């Protein structure tokens, strides 16, 4: 990207944020509509402990002609009160248990809810395909002055009305409360309540003690996801010295097929999923774009849904994180010298590693060490490609679009399903400007 194009890009982002000019009302607390258990602590499993980051998402509703956003905020507030009866820990606050772990204090005080008005039309927001914290952050409520996650409620909601009659729902949810699938079930349940349902199609299964650690803990795998890797490539200086540029790259079905063909070309793999092929490609391309030293170790982390892999499987509607991190490690020079099939094969191995015993071992590893996964010289891929957030019809039709406000860490790449039939995948990432130029060139070759 030339200096001029970059300047225009920055100016466009700034003008979009200014154009929206969102005015928020005072937040109110929405407690559960009926009495719920209070005065106790709600147990969070070891799989919940390490991902206590706030995830911000925005859903945009165009609204049927003639109806507009009239009554939307009231309807969503009333339905939130009703769904919190089923999901009552979300009305509590995070605390620390006697074992010095995160827990939920069941206070029943409620979720902060904010109404807001934007000075523009929904169309001015764009298509949400690229994270844009300055603009999209205005559509989500963050508690002012909160210094850490203990001072942030598990969930906040903001309904923003647009001049065109459309509205958006912005959510800030703590990942320790649920993973992507759990969050989707919660939002869809909330939407069901707003449409007048008396019962939930998928009631939440609340008891997270099914994932308690074994006593004594049994660590049967090396769990290299926690390994600290030395930065011998000057990455800290590169990230510190340049602006982080966010971009999205769309892979339509034809392009995804080309990526899979690349992964199968070497003859190393008999078969390979789209996720494995795309992850291998992106890991390799990012390694090249960042100019990692040939001897630099690099780690790939990604979450695997363990719900069906546990023995017995987690109950339907499990409320909590059912995902487990798995990993692959390579030396940068070897990764780049080998074809894409080698990287895709390593991803495949990492998926295969996730058995019931591996996941129980990961739970026990945290119990014994309290270690946090290290993101040094690491790429963390998170995938929302299978999450059907389009089911979130609160009575104003399905969302015209939905997406993340920002990526939680600079090491994160997000795969987001795209298009009407969700057959395409948007790859969202942030890189230092020079590395983004190099990454784009590599993507343009496919």
pLDDT digits (tens, 9 = 90+) for 227-256: 999 999 999 999 999 989 999 999 999 999
**pLDDT recorded at residue 266:** 77
Mean of per-residue pLDDT scores for the chain: 92
Give yes or no for residue 4 having a pLDDT over 80.
Answer: no
**How far apart are alpha carbons 337 and 7 in whole angstroms?**
36
**How far apart are alpha carbons 30 and 90 in whole angstroms?**
11
**How far apart are alpha carbons 420 and 366 in whole angstroms?**
40
**The three-state (H, E, C) secondary structure of the chain, written as one string:** CCHHHHHHHHHHHHHHHHHHCCEECCCEEECCCCCCCCCCEEECCHHHHCCCCEEEEEEEECCCCCCCCCCHHHHHHHHHHHHHHHCHHHHCEEEECCCCCEEEECCCCCEEEEEEECCCCHHHHCCCCCCCHHHHHHHCCCCCCCCCHHHCCCEEEEEEECCCCCEEEEEEEECCCCCHHHHHHHHHHHHHHHCCCCCCCCCCECCHHHHCCCCCCCCCCCCHHHCCCCCCCCHHHHHHHCCEEEEEEEECHHHHHHHHHHHHHCCCCCCCCHHHHHHHHHHHHHHHHCCCCCCCEEEEEEEEECCCCCCCCCCCCECCCCEEEEEEEEEHHHHHHCCHHHHHHHHHHHHHCCCHHHHHHHHHHHHHHCCCCCCCCEEEEEECCCCCHHHCCCCCCCCCEEEECCCCCCCEEEEEEECCCCCEEEEEEEEEHHHHHHHHHHHHCC
**pLDDT recorded at residue 3:** 41
* Residue 69 bears catalytic tag: no
**How far apart are alpha carbons 108 and 179 in whole angstroms?**
22
Mean pLDDT of 201-212: 97
Catalytic residue (choose from 69, 86, 175, 223): 175
Task: Name the more confident of 194 and 398.
Answer: 194
The band of 68, judged by pLDDT with boundaries at 50, 70 and 90, is confident
Catalytic residue (choose from 124, 305, 390, 393): 393
* Residue 215 bears catalytic tag: no
The model's pTM is: 0.91
Mean pLDDT of 354-371: 97
**pLDDT recorded at residue 441:** 97
Q: Are strands 244-251 and 424-432 parallel, antiparallel or unpaired?
A: antiparallel
């Amino acid at each position: 990207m030339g200096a001029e194009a970059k300047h225009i890009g920055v100016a466009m982002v700034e003008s979009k944020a200014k154009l929206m000019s969102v005015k928020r009302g005072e937040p109110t607390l929405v407690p559960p509509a009926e009495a719920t258990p209070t005065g106790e602590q709600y147990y969070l499993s070891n799989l919940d402990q390490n991902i206590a980051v706030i995830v911000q998402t925005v859903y945009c509703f165009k609204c049927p002609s003639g109806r507009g956003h009239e009554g939307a905020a009231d309807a969503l507030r009333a339905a939130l009160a009703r769904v919190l009866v089923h999901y009552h820990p979300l009305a509590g606050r995070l605390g620390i248990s006697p074992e010095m772990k995160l827990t939920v204090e069941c206070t029943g005080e409620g979720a902060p809810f904010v109404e807001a008005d934007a000075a523009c039309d929904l169309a001015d927001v764009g298509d949400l395909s690229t994270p844009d914290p300055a603009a999209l952050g205005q559509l989500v409520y963050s508690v002012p002055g909160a210094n850490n996650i203990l001072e942030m409620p598990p969930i906040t909601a903001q309904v923003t009305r647009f001049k065109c009659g459309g509205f958006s729902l912005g959510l800030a949810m703590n990942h320790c409360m649920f993973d992507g699938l759990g969050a989707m079930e919660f939002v869809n349940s909330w939407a069901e309540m707003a449409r007048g349902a008396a019962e939930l199609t998928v009631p939440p299964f609340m008891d997270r003690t099914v994932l308690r650690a074994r006593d004594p803990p049994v660590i049967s795998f090396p769990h290299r996801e926690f390994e600290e890797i030395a930065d011998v490539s000057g990455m800290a200086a590169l990230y510190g010295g340049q602006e982080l540029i966010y971009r999205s790259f769309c892979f339509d079905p034809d392009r995804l097929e080309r990526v899979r063909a690349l992964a199968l070309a070497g003859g190393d793999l008999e078969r390979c999923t789209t996720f494995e092929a795309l992850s291998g490609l992106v890991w390799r391309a990012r390694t090249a774009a960042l100019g990692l030293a040939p001897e630099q170790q690099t780690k790939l982390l990604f979450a695997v849904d363990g719900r069906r892999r546990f023995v017995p499987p987690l109950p339907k509607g499990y409320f909590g994180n059912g995902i487990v991190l798995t990993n692959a490690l390579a030396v940068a020079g070897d990764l780049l010298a080998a074809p894409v099939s080698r990287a895709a094969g390593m991803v495949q191995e990492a998926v295969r590693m996730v058995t019931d015993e591996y996941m129980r071992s990961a739970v026990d590893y945290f119990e014994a060490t309290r270690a946090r996964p290290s993101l040094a010289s690491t790429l963390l891929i998170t995938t929302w490609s299978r999450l059907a957030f389009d089911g979130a019809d609160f009575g104003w039709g399905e969302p015209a679009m939905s997406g993340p406000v920002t990526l939680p860490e600079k090491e994160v790449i997000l795969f987001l399903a795209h298009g009407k039939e969700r057959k395409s995948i948007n790859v969202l990432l942030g890189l230092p400007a020079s590395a983004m130029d190099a990454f784009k060139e590599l993507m343009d070759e496919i």
